[in-house]
Structures are given as C-alpha cells and as structure tokens.
Amino acid sequence: MPELRPGPAHGVRPHSTVRPARFLLSLLSFLASLALLLVLPGPATADTGAAADEARGKPPAHPELHWMGSTIRSHEKPSTPDGPGPIPPLAAVEGVDVSSHNGNVAWSTLWDSGVRFAYTKATEGTSYTNPYFAQQYNGSYNAGMIRGAYHFAQPASSSGAAQADFFASHGGGWSRDGKTLPGVLDLEWNPEGQACYGMSASQLVNWAKDFFATYRARTGRDAVIYTSTSWWKQCTGNYAGFGAVNPLWIPRYGASAGELPAGWGFHTFWQYTDTGPVVGDHNRFNGTYTRLQALANG
C-alpha cells in the first residue's frame, strides 16, 4: 500500500510563510544600502573651488582683499567730482588695473571703450599669486593692449629682495616685445594694521631700495612705484631719492593728479577712479601712445 504523505491544505501554496520573510529581508537590505549612499561622500567634481569659479567668470569663494588702491579711499578723502577733469591732449591714453577680485575680465569690451593698456596683479608678499593672472594678463595682450604686472607689497612679512624675486618669478618678468610694461611695486597703506607696517621711514626706504635693486637685476628694468603722496610723506618722510629712476604711479580720485611726492616732477600713470566702467580702477598714462610704447620697450 503506498505511503501517504501530508499535503498542503486546500488553497494554500507551499512555502507561503517563507516568501514574505525573504521579501522583508530584501527590502531591509535595499534601505540599508540607500542610507549608506546618502552618507558617503560623493566623487569630487570640476565644479568646485577657484578653478570652477574662474571658468564661470566668478571671483573665488574667498575673494581677494588687497589690490592696487584698495586702501586709498578708506584713508584719503577723494576730491569732487570723483573722476578726471579736462585731460591734456598729449595725456589721453586710457588704462585699467585688475586683480583676482575682478574675476575674468571682458577685455574686448574694454578695448572697444578705448582702453589701451592694463596692469594685472601678479603677486603679494612671498606666497600669494593671482589665480586669474593668465586670463587677465594674456587676455589684455590678446585684445591688443600693452600690458604689465604689479606686486602688492607686504614690507613687514619679508625683505624687499625676497618679494622682488617672488614677483619676477611669478608673472612680473619683462621682455622687449613692445607690448610688455615694466613691473610695478604697489606700496600703500597697510590694509591689516599700522599704516606704515610698524616700520620706520628709513626701514621702509631701505626695503624699497632692496626691491628695486633686485627687480632690476632680475629683469633689466627699473620698476614703477605706485604710491600716494599722503602715505609717502607719512611713512617715508617724503624721501626724494627714487624720482630720477623709478616712474611714479599716483592714485588720486578727483579732477587732477594733485601734489606729487618729493623727487618726482611729473607722474607717469594716474589712477583717477576706482568706480569706472567694466572694472573699477581706471588710469591715464601721462603721454602719447608712442611714449607708452617707448616705456614698454625700455
């Protein structure tokens, strides 16, 4: 007689109590995996940091605080109106100065507006380099402008010689191509403390001497100096020894360049506003375009 085996009850399929358990385990496993994905860091993308900001034409996440003239308005009261008065016909070459706080610059727009020269911040102290330097320095050149580079001085942090070396090695060089201006030493009010960097007049003068001597040894050119008359008087005792060699760039937001520091009978550049079109800082070269080309050629 055949062996009888117990079968399933009517209407109930085998393993009906196992499948719901398997489904529940699978669901719990999926939810655990999803939670893990949410907390793990994702891969780095190109859309982060200063490089992405540069690609989008935006300033970096931590914008630069120091640039040519960034301390002038807070220390020196501009005359009225804030802009140049009648410009002599032989001093009508328009220029701009830029740094990383400007981001990517619309050079073709500036060229179309009449701008013919540009200075770009290259360095500060012995550690900072402008992340937008290539777009700004090469972009102005490619637009047809005569271009140059400048260094924002931090005299209390390192020697003039060390900062001149750093500048010359990171964009402040010079070549006789007819389109490159000599480098500029930006020496203005201390943006982070004592107006004169906690240094005496003789210490600051010697610091500048070391910078100029080293820059000349590195490039063969005498650097331009950007400084205000008020700062120069207060912090160097109105030293007159650089006027015969180093061209002067004077900031004064008003109708004229005004009084010059001792030793200079005329200015070479005049920063006449920090609220100009496209980029804030606009300048005039004190001569014809031919003379600007001569300065570039040394």
Vertex 121, ends 212 and 185: CA angle to 5°? Answer: 20
Active-site residue, from 124, 165, 186, 222: 186
Based on the residue annotation, tell me whether 47 is a catalytic residue of this protein.
no
DSSP three-state, residue 249: strand
Q: Provide, rounded to the nearest whole percent, the portion of the chain with pLDDT above 70.
A: 70
256, 87 Cβ separation under 8 angstroms: no
Domain holding 204, by residue range, is: 85-297
pLDDT in tens, 184-229: 999 988 888 788 999 999 999 999 999 999 999 999 999 999 999 9
d(CA 288, CA 241): 27
Active-site residue, from 53, 94, 188, 222: 188
Residue 14 or residue 297, greater confidence: 297
Q: Is 60 domain-assigned?
A: no
Q: Is 66 domain-assigned?
A: no
Q: Is 180 domain-assigned?
A: yes
Cα–Cα distances (Å) from 109 to 53, 116, 143, 185, 212, in that order, read 21, 12, 9, 27, 34
Active-site residue, from 64, 76, 94, 97: 97
Q: Nearest to residue 162, comparing CAs of 129, 207, 112?
A: 207
Q: Is 63 domain-assigned?
A: no
- pLDDT class for 92, splitting at 50, 70, 90? confident
Q: Is 39 domain-assigned?
A: no
d(CA 8, CA 153): 92
Q: Is 50 domain-assigned?
A: no
Above 60 in pLDDT, residue 89? no
DSSP three-state, residue 272: strand
Query: Where is 209: in which H helix or E strand?
Result: helix 201-219
Cα–Cα distances (Å) from 67 to 142, 246, 249, in that order, read 23, 20, 14
pLDDT in tens, 53-73: 445 555 444 456 675 555 665
DSSP three-state, residue 119: strand
Q: Is 40 domain-assigned?
A: no
Tell me, what CATH number does 197's domain have? 3.20.20.80
pLDDT of residue 117: 98
Based on the residue annotation, tell me whether 188 is a catalytic residue of this protein.
yes
Cα–Cα distances (Å) from 4 to 1, 7, 203, in that order, read 9, 9, 112
Quote the number of domains for the chain: 1
pLDDT in tens, 223-263: 999 999 999 999 999 999 999 999 999 999 878 888 999 99
pTM for the structure as a whole = 0.76
DSSP three-state, residue 34: helix
d(CA 106, CA 40): 40
Q: Is 24 domain-assigned?
A: no
Vertex 207, ends 256 and 244: CA angle to 5°? Answer: 50
Which is it for strands 146-152 and 184-186: parallel, antiparallel or unpaired?
parallel
79, 252 Cβ separation under 8 angstroms: yes
DSSP state letter for 244? T
Residue 193: which residues within 8 A CB-CB, separation 6 or more?
Answer: 156
- pLDDT class for 149, splitting at 50, 70, 90? very high
Q: Nearest to residue 219, comparing CAs of 298, 293, 112, 153?
A: 298
Phi-psi region of 90 (alpha: psi -120 to 50; beta: other; left: phi over 0): alpha
| Long-range contacts at 271-277 (CB < 8 A, ≥ 24 apart) | 271/68, 271/69, 271/72, 271/97, 271/226, 272/83, 272/84, 273/82, 273/83, 273/84, 274/69, 274/72, 274/73, 275/82, 276/96, 277/113
